[in-house]
Chain A
Amino acid sequence: MPELMQFNTDDTRGFLAILPEILMTILVLIVIYMDLFLPPSRRKSVGYMAGVGMLVIGGLAWLIVPADGLKVSEQLVLGGMVRSDDLAKIFKVMVALVGGLTCLMGMGDIRLRYKGEFYALIIIATMGASLLSSAADLVMVFISLETLSISLYVLSGFVRRPETPNPTEEAFASRSAESGMKYFLFGAFTSAFLLYGLSLLYGFSGGHTNIYRIGQALAAGEQDTAPIILALMMVVVGFGFKISVVPFHFWTPDVYEGAPTPVTSFISVVSKAASFAVLTRFLLAVFPPEQLISVPLDQYKEFSEIWVQLFSILAVITMTLGNIVALSQRNIKRLIAYSSIAQAGYTLMGVAAIATTKSGDGAAAVAYYMFMYVFTNTLFFACIILFTNATGSETIADMAGLSRRNPWLAMGITIALLSLAGIPPTAGFVGKFLLFRAAVDSGLTWLAVFGVLNAIIGLYYYLVVIKVIYVDRSPDDEKPIDLPAPYGFVMATSTVAVVLLGTFLIGPIVNWASEAGLDLFRL
């Protein structure tokens, strides 16, 4: 038996590692308290409290420097429950900032605006996502994943029947309830798979719960290969559901369409980002490639080739299906649902590349892509909320003439779509570039070719939306759309973020993402 990996017992480190989550918990309590005791006229401040509070926490999370040891054992804190490294940090900052933006976005939605529970649930979900991105223990992985998921099930079904009869609102409520239920049933089902997979890993490793210990134990090769691959598959089902990998994507369009739009935005970014964080960490820790195995034996077992192939195939299927189905969508939220499936497919190229790139390029590409993706999608959904509020419609054809009704709104959507399509000077170009680079670097050139061809298909349907906005005319051309304050802030922040991430901030963020990638390749 190899020597057991030890953990860092420094309590200050442990405290700092979960400080953002602690602050989020306190913020939840404050928000609930304010919701209960503030008079209705001052309810608006609940949303500001939640939103600004989360942005501040995001800033703090950025200031906390992770335990900078060269060894994994020095970064594993709190009894090995969490690992405090740059990967965790980049994802924590990301989800906290976007959680804050989502709260501000919710302030403009008439169905959510004055409901304190909405903000509380968003913060709890963000906390789960934040913990998930640093989780290094099976128990922690599962608990944080469920904290995230259960909050999201509730949020999807958040719209309630109105007290006075109103057919439009009732339709919204029943769609929302349906999406919540669908999400819950799918989610519970795949969670069961995940849990079974985790329990198998616990057993095969000889009773470890820390993923790094499991990885070394499995690599020692005292178990049969087949059951371990079965456990791997089950874990893939669990995470695959969260990031809507084909064939576990069926919930995506329905939930995206039915859930209140700020919640859709939240699901499409935070839940996906955190799941990618845990996926990269989990794969490299539990099924490590050769260079991450510290077992001093001549005979070791290596599973990375299996999941590299698996994820390459999943990436191709996911992006192709997402893009092709998106071509025929008429509802903007369904379009973006399929587009988000495609985007998950691109990101999976990075996941497939993490094992074979020695420099951590793959993980860095995934981190950068998610970083830009969360801001891009937030921007997009902020614009969509404004558009639906003004027109009461979610159909693409009704976006005609938007550039005449509000040029800023039109430009926001355009920048978001160009970023999703990967056109400079938006962040999406750099994101895609890094993913293709990682794929080529790890000898998966064919995968990069599939990626670029898919990017062209994607470009087509994004351009169609842009065309409707800029070229088509509608009878309402002359009716301007107002830009309320919280939205203005969300849109401005995320637009600036998307453009800066594609130009001046590429250097620092790529640097950070590379550090994060390197961290995963330390023994």
Chain B
Amino acid sequence: METQFSGILTGILAFPFVAAIIILFIDKEQKEVIRTIAAFATGASLILAALVFFTYDTEAARTANAGLIDSGSGLLTFQFVDKVTWIKELGVSYQLGVDGLAAPMVLLTGLASFAGVMISWGIEDRVREFMAFFLLLVAGVYGVFLSTDIFLLLFFYELAIFPMYFLIAGWGWVELREYASMKLTLYILIGSVIALVGILVLYFEAGSFFTENPDLLPATSESAYSFDFNHIQYAAQQGAFDDPQYLGLGKEVTVATFWFPFIFLGFAVLAGIFPFHNWSPDGHVAAPTAVSMIHAGVLMKLGALTAIRLGVQLLPDGARVHLPWIIFLALVNVVYGAFIAFRQRDFKYVIGFSSVSHMGLVSLGVATMNTTGMTGAGLQMFSHGVMTALFFACVGMVYDRAHTRDIPSLGGFIKKMPLVAIAFIIGGLVSMGMPGLSGFVAEFPIFVGVWRGIPELIWNNENHPEWATSLTSGGANYYGLIGIAAALGIILTAAYVLRVVGQVFFGEFDEEKFPDIPPIRIQDRVAIYMLTAWLIVLGVYPKLMSDMIESAVQPVVGLLTGSK
């Protein structure tokens, strides 16, 4: 295999990793040194991530993926590739690269992790261990977004989960942390290991397919068995997963249609898809502030992106069969999540359930299977990530000072913490989908996408008339109704956001109950400014990101509608 190495992505990955190891060897009393190293490492990664985001060549990506976009055949081109053979026997290589979906996510990780370190400046208990685990978590998250080898991706995926456990169990909210951390870990790992079995099946099916048809082997692959993302995707295009009668389950059942739900939902657990969302609000609430930010802001996107990568992109045939019913799960997410959020008394639970609701919009966008909806989903991942990180930062700051999160007993905090209040209100407007802010540019395309429904190429494909019939029983396109129902979720969102803003930040401030409100640290300010700026910039100038995401979504839609 040819070795390629540009080193930028490896750098993004290496800073937090190396810093985590260095921190372990520093005396535990040197807290300020430890924090500075953590800030430096996440900051350096953020700069590199921004470099990747701003120099990503969208036009080149479109040209390179023209085959995939037009006819759904070809290899996906990644940029900034680092590629070295790792385990030859298994066909595993250390392979990093970004496409238009991953690049914004990498930037998001950089923002949330740097802001997270800033927000955690006040932690005094075992700072060394906290920062080491936090950096390990960040490295794991980066790893998942950057991996283009499936083994490597799974490696980082599991690597990202267990620091979560430590951070929540060790530094979380005392009353809930043991329960919540264990629940979170078990939910996510059950999903991912079942998906892992599915991935292994794909690996062997692809391997035996290429062993029988060595002339079809893509030029980039050395052996028939490989965990390279493109290798397995190419096998899917060539029909390696299409044999009917898989496991003797009937002629409709193929490898693709059998394993798609397991792989897609297995990863979507981490994106909080209904009915597997239950770990998420508890996890958000129990986690310390910085971890909530990474958790809701980035980790849930890990699930969403992996579900798109390994679910939809590897198994488009399965996606066509299953996404039309999975869209109902997404709808439940949106509406039910918003409704539950409305009913919460605990400030942090409101945000926790709002994440469930907003991540439902991501799943909704993916399930539309058209470019508009999926672009919206990609934008929503970024927008929600920044927004929710900001939310949790604000909630954390209020809680640190008020020592309660009970909404009715709070009030008037805008007088004491104007910056936090304004940031929270901006976040709230984003969450409601206010035009001019990033939430609108993300949610609007999703609803348009849902309204447009399943693309013509799937509905009326001359080569595949069975696609239309397999989608619905009555032949009716119910996506419009779904769009209307999901829009109700937005109304509920407005209701709960306004309620929280009104009761927490406005109203009378009780001087007796909260006698001492210390000022906000400079580090907190940095985090707030940084996150808020992105919400506004993206709202005003969405082209910054939408083109890039669209260029990555088109190949996926190409795979879904392609007429092999």
Interface residues of A (CB under 8 A from B): 364, 403-404, 407, 411, 418, 423-425, 429, 433, 436-437, 440-441, 445, 448-449, 452-453, 455-456, 459-460, 463-464, 466-467, 470-471, 506-507, 510-511, 514
Contact (Cβ within 8 A) A418 B162: yes
Bound-state CA distance A456–B194 (Å) is 10
Interface check B178, CB cutoff 8 A: yes
Chain B interfacial residues counted at CB < 8 A: 39
CB pairs A–B below 8 angstroms (19 shown): A407-B28, A407-B128, A424-B155, A425-B155, A425-B159, A436-B196, A437-B200, A440-B204, A445-B197, A452-B197, A456-B189, A459-B186, A459-B189, A460-B182, A466-B165, A467-B182, A470-B170, A511-B88, A514-B89
Contact (Cβ within 8 A) B200 A436: yes
Smallest CB-CB separation from B182: which chain A residue? A463
Q: How far is the CB of A180 from chain B (nearest CB, A)?
A: 38
**Residue from the list B28, B86, B178, B190 in contact with A506, Cβ < 8 A:** B86
A sample of 16 more A-B contacts (CB under 8 A), given A411-B24, A440-B200, is: A403-B129, A424-B158, A433-B151, A436-B197, A440-B197, A452-B197, A459-B189, A466-B166, A467-B178, A470-B166, A471-B170, A471-B178, A506-B87, A507-B86, A511-B88, A514-B89
Q: Which residues of B contact A464 (CB under 8 A)?
A: 182
Mask: chain B, 155-186; 1 = CB below 8 Å from A; 0 = not: 11011011001100110000001100110011
Bound-state CA distance A460–B90 (Å) is 29
User: With A441-B204, A511-B89 given, is the CB distance from A448 to B197 under 8 Å?
Assistant: yes
Most B CB within 10 A of own CB, among A453, A459, A466: A459
Q: Which residues of B contact A507 (CB under 8 A)?
A: 85-88
Q: Which residues of B contact A511 (CB under 8 A)?
A: 87-89
Contact (Cβ within 8 A) A449 B197: yes
Q: How far is the CB of A509 from chain B (nearest CB, A)?
A: 9
Interface check B543, CB cutoff 8 A: no
Q: How far is the CB of A454 from chain B (nearest CB, A)?
A: 10
Smallest CB-CB separation from B132: which chain A residue? A411
**Residue from the list A403, A411, A466, A514 in contact with B126, Cβ < 8 A:** A403
Residues of chain B in range 133-167 having any CB-CB distance to chain A below 8 Å: 151, 154-156, 158-159, 161-162, 165-166
**Residue from the list B128, B155, B193, B200 in contact with A456, Cβ < 8 A:** B193
Q: Which residues of A contact B193 (CB under 8 A)?
A: 452-453, 455-456
Mask: chain B, 190-223; 1 = CB below 8 Å from A; 0 = not: 1001101100110110000000000000000000
Q: What are the 4 tightest A-B residue pairs by CB atom distance, in nearest-first order?
A: A452-B193, A440-B200, A424-B159, A514-B89
Bound-state CA distance A514–B89 (Å) is 8
Contact (Cβ within 8 A) B155 A445: no
Contact (Cβ within 8 A) A456 B186: yes
Bound-state CA distance A212–B10 (Å) is 50
Contact (Cβ within 8 A) A452 B186: no
Q: Which residues of A contact B159 (CB under 8 A)?
A: 423-425
Q: Which residues of B contact A423 (CB under 8 A)?
A: 158-159, 161-162
Q: How far is the CB of A444 from chain B (nearest CB, A)?
A: 11
Bound-state CA distance A463–B196 (Å) is 21
Q: How far is the CB of B179 from chain A (nearest CB, A)?
A: 11
Bound-state CA distance A325–B552 (Å) is 49
Contact (Cβ within 8 A) B158 A429: yes
Smallest CB-CB separation from A509: which chain B residue? B87
Bound-state CA distance A423–B155 (Å) is 8
Smallest CB-CB separation from A457: which chain B residue? B186
Q: How far is the CB of B374 from chain A (nearest CB, A)?
A: 30
Bound-state CA distance A460–B156 (Å) is 20
Q: Which residues of A contact B190 (CB under 8 A)?
A: 453, 456
Q: Which residues of B contact A514 (CB under 8 A)?
A: 89
Contact (Cβ within 8 A) A452 B196: yes
Q: How far is the CB of A465 from chain B (nearest CB, A)?
A: 12
Q: How far is the CB of B336 from chain A (nearest CB, A)?
A: 26
Q: How far is the CB of A450 from chain B (nearest CB, A)?
A: 10
Bound-state CA distance A177–B449 (Å) is 74
Q: How far is the CB of B457 from chain A (nearest CB, A)?
A: 33
Bound-state CA distance A505–B178 (Å) is 35
Bound-state CA distance A8–B177 (Å) is 64
Q: Which residues of B contact A424 (CB under 8 A)?
A: 155-156, 158-159
Smallest CB-CB separation from A414: which chain B residue? B166
Most B CB within 10 A of own CB, among A437, A445, A514: A437
Q: How far is the CB of B226 from chain A (nearest CB, A)?
A: 13
Smallest CB-CB separation from B86: which chain A residue? A507
Q: Which residues of A contact B129 (CB under 8 A)?
A: 403, 407, 470
Most A CB within 10 A of own CB, among B90, B126, B169: B90
Contact (Cβ within 8 A) A510 B90: yes
Smallest CB-CB separation from B193: which chain A residue? A452
Mask: chain B, 69-90; 1 = CB below 8 Å from A; 0 = not: 0000000000000000111111
Contact (Cβ within 8 A) A445 B201: yes
Smallest CB-CB separation from B170: which chain A residue? A470
Q: Which residues of B contact A404 (CB under 8 A)?
A: 126
User: With A445-B197, A449-B194, A452-B194 given, is the CB distance from A471 to B86 under 8 Å?
Assistant: no
Q: Which residues of B contact A506 (CB under 8 A)?
A: 86-87
Residues of chain B in range 319-351 having any CB-CB distance to chain A below 8 Å: none
Bound-state CA distance A288–B271 (Å) is 47
Bound-state CA distance A455–B186 (Å) is 10
Q: Which residues of A contact B204 (CB under 8 A)?
A: 440-441
Q: Which residues of B contact A418 (CB under 8 A)?
A: 162
Q: How far is the CB of B171 from chain A (nearest CB, A)?
A: 9
Bound-state CA distance A456–B126 (Å) is 29
Q: Which residues of B contact A449 (CB under 8 A)?
A: 194, 197
Contact (Cβ within 8 A) A463 B165: yes
Bound-state CA distance A55–B435 (Å) is 69
Q: Which residues of B contact A448 (CB under 8 A)?
A: 197, 200
Contact (Cβ within 8 A) A471 B200: no
**Residue from the list B89, B161, B169, B185 in contact with A470, Cβ < 8 A:** B169
Q: How far is the CB of A358 from chain B (nearest CB, A)?
A: 11
Q: Which residues of B contact A453 (CB under 8 A)?
A: 190, 193
Bound-state CA distance A459–B182 (Å) is 10
Q: Which residues of A contact B128 (CB under 8 A)?
A: 407
Q: How far is the CB of A147 from chain B (nearest CB, A)?
A: 34
Q: Which residues of A contact B161 (CB under 8 A)?
A: 423
Bound-state CA distance A433–B154 (Å) is 10
Contact (Cβ within 8 A) B155 A429: yes
Bound-state CA distance A437–B86 (Å) is 17
